[in-house]
A and B are shown apart, each in its own frame.
Chain A
Amino acid sequence: ELKVEQNPLFLSMQEGKNYTIYCNYSTTSDRLYWYRQDPGKSLESLFVLLSNGAVKQEGRLMASLDTKARLSTLHITAAVHDLSATYFCAVDISGTYKYIFGTGTRLKVLA
């Protein structure tokens, strides 16, 4: 059974600091997705990573995928309060777009 684990589960950080969220998965896949969820809201697509070594950047967020290590990272640069949210990674192992979501990382950026 595929397991998708994120760490940390909770992250409280100061504005202006850098940090990385990790997403590990247990079965071979080269399709990984990152989403953001604000409290009480839906999921917003952030990044689509479809091959080993893929790197995508949008503003202060950068995501990468290492399929050999079965690891994706979401790096936050110079955090700002607006980035406070829960971040989920999701893995598609069968190519059918059946996503298996990670546990989520709740990020709180303190002013």
Chain B
Amino acid sequence: EPEVTQTPSHQVTQMGQEVILRCVPISNHLYFYWYRQILGQKVEFLVSFYNNEISEKSEIFDDQFSVERPDGSNFTLKIRSTKLEDSAMYFCAPRGGTSGEETQYFGPGTRLLVL
């Protein structure tokens, strides 16, 4: 089962500020996914990342969002100018598991609060 750590665990920011959320895999993975969960609601797909490129993104993932793998291992999700509605839990999820039965293993998440 792949493991990741996410930093920070909590972040409070002012509306309009930029935030960078980090995902650090324990071992090398090719496929990564970002999801968000607004408090008490369902989990929503944001973007998938394969081999250092975005492979798919949702309507939520607009121009304010970007993802990078700046140093070949860590992943970052950047929100350029945060809005109140960006307040949510953000999860990164590498794909892994038994070959033929792979799934996504969610990291511990970053709780973002935009004031």
Most chain A beta-carbon neighbours within 10 Å: one of B31, B56, B106: B106
A45 to B31 CA separation, bound complex (whole angstroms): 17
Chain B 63-74, CB-CB to A under 8 Å as 1, else 0, gives 000000000000
Please report B residues at the A interface, Cβ cutoff 8 Å. Answer: 1, 31, 33, 35, 42-45, 48, 55-56, 58, 91, 95, 97, 100-109
How far, in angstroms, from A44 to B43 measured CA to CA in the complex? Answer: 13
CA distance A43 to B45 in the complex (A): 14
Residue of chain A at shortest CB distance from B109: A42
Question: Which residues of chain A have a CB within 8 Å of any CB of chain B?
Answer: 33, 35, 41-45, 48, 50, 88, 90, 96-104
> Nearest Cβ distance between residue B68 and chain A, in whole angstroms?
20
Q: Are B42 and A99 in contact (CB under 8 A)?
A: no
Given A42-B106, A42-B107, A42-B108, A97-B31 contact (CB < 8 Å) = yes
CB distance from B32 to the nearest CB of A (A): 10
Q: In the complex the two chains form, is B48's CB within 8 Å of A96's CB?
A: yes
Chain B residues near A88 (CB, 8 Å)?
42-43
Task: Give Cα distance in the complex from A33 to B91, angstroms.
Answer: 17
Q: What are 27 pairs between A and B in contact, CB < 8 Å? A: A42-B91, A42-B107, A42-B109, A43-B91, A43-B106, A45-B1, A45-B97, A45-B103, A45-B104, A45-B105, A45-B106, A48-B101, A48-B103, A50-B101, A96-B48, A97-B48, A97-B104, A98-B33, A98-B48, A98-B58, A99-B33, A99-B43, A99-B45, A99-B104, A100-B45, A101-B43, A101-B44
Chain B residues whose CB sits within 8 angstroms of the CB of A99 once the complex forms: 33, 35, 43, 45, 104
